[in-house]
Copies of this chain bind each other. A is one copy, B any other.
Amino acid sequence: MSQAFEFHLKKSVSPGGPRLGEMRTVHGVVQTPIFMPVGTQGTVKAMAPEELQGLGAGIILSNIYHLYLRPGAEVVAALGGLHKFMNWPGGILTDSGGYQIFSLASFRQITEEGVHFRSHLDGSSHFLTPEKVIALQRTIGSDIMVCLDECPGYPAPEAEVRRAAALTLRWAKRCLEARAQDPAPLFAVVQGGMLPELRREQAQAFRELDFDGYCLGGLSVGEDKDTLLAMVEVTTPELPEGKPRYLMGVGTPEDLVEGVARGVDMFDCVLPTRNGRNGMAFTGFGKVVVKNAVYARDPAPLEEGCGCYTCRHYSRAYLRHLYLSREILAYRLLTLHNLYYYLHLMAEIREAVAAGRFAQFRREFYEKREGGNTRG
């Protein structure tokens, strides 16, 4: 366990049920359950740091695979570390790149020692080991490091899933040793494909090791929602109560609600930022696709009553015009709204859990969405 990290479980209704916590890194305190905006390449796409702070984002996700390839971890370090480089005073969790190596790299070869791969940017050859991934994350000044994992494809043969899970566990132990001298906060990644028994076994094996938190990896890779949630459901009760659980790369607003219902404390996902850049806004009533002709003269904001900057100042008609004109301001305003929606949703979830009315919140959340978009 690291001195630079604290997690205090403030409330837990039942094992594997909704929880409230407080997480401290050297870059501030955040309340959980929390959503982390994605800043893969050292910037949350289309946003400035002050805008993220204004939205109440306390911690963001970055990615050592991307930063290692460009601009290079040693460049980030030479510029004073990632926080200074990108002018971000809050927390930064860095994913190990396990998922990116398996989803982006044009070639990869796994050995016990590590992973050989070719860069998706320029085809250059690289070799990363658990130890090197820890060193890289330390170099750039990550607040929460993540172990190198092997993320199997989906669907994948059972033997392959079992082999990857076992390797991920052995690599995690090496990561733990690698950070031992100077214990910076480190999360493990629990794999196990879509095999409930394997997920449970892995969680049990990982809980014996002294990590600061546990990621649920290898999910939201193509499986259906029921399977995703079933995998979460079998995993969280096996993890230590006093450590945060982070469901990687998930998901939709519904996924956040269902993840919290199953004991998840942390989420990240590209949906609010990526969909914003693709002209789609999240609202409590469902999605708004701004390019739709129905909004051509619509003076309403994206969502009535929304307190975000975009909704306080701009109409759907204007956003549609900007989006059709491919103006950068469209991507900015939609990203801002979507991140506000996600972060505000998490704040509402925390309030509901604190007040002991999460079940009611969850029911109303779905009722509102089933009511559909107020303006068609």
Q: What CA separation (Å) do A41 and B321 show in the bound complex?
A: 9
Contacting residues, chain B, for A297 (C-beta < 8 A): 75, 78-79
Total A residues in contact with B, Cβ cutoff 8 Å: 34
Provide the residues of chain B in CB contact with A318, threshold 8 Å.
42, 79, 85-87
Annotate A36-70 by CB proximity to B: 1 below 8 A, 0 otherwise.
00000111011110000000000000000000001
Residues of chain B with a CB closer than 8 A to A78's CB: 297, 299
In the complex, residue of chain B having the shortest beta-carbon distance to the beta carbon of A316? B79
Known contacts A71-B321, A75-B317, A317-B79; A327 and B41 CB within 8 A of each other: yes
Binds B, one of A23-31, A126-134, A142-150, A328-336: A328-336
Please measure, in the bound complex, the distance between the C-alpha atom of A331 and the C-alpha atom of B87, giving whole angstroms.
Answer: 16
Name the contact of A325 in the complex, choosing from B41, B322, B331, B332 (C-beta under 8 A): B41
Indicate if A359 sits at the interface (CB-CB under 8 A).
no
- When each residue 298-319 of chain A gets 1 if its CB lies under 8 Å from chain B and 0 otherwise, what string results? 0100000000000001110110
Contact A43 B324 (CB under 8 A): no
| B332 adjacent to A48 (CB under 8 Å) | yes
Q: How distant is the Cα of A296 from the Cα of B85 in the complex, in angstroms?
A: 12
Q: At the interface, is chain A mostly helix, strand, loop or mixed?
A: loop
Query: Chain B residues near A85 (CB, 8 Å)?
Result: 315, 317-318, 321
- B331 & A328 in contact (Cβ 8 Å cutoff): yes
Residues on B with beta carbons closer than 8 Å to the beta carbon of A327: 41, 43, 45
Report Cα–Cα, A41/B78, bound state, in Å: 41
Shortest CB-to-CB span from A139 to chain B, Å, is 14
Over the window 72-100 of chain A, the binary record of Cβ atoms lying under 8 Å from chain B Cβ atoms (1 yes, 0 no) is 00010011100001110000000000000
Chain B residues within an 8 Å CB radius of A75: 296-297, 317, 321
Given contacts A79-B297, A87-B313, A328-B331, 14 further A-B contacts (CB under 8 A): A41-B321, A41-B322, A41-B325, A43-B329, A45-B328, A47-B329, A48-B332, A70-B324, A71-B296, A71-B324, A78-B299, A85-B315, A85-B317, A328-B328
Q: 4 tightest CB-CB pairs across the interface, nearest first?
A: A46-B328, A71-B321, A87-B313, A43-B329
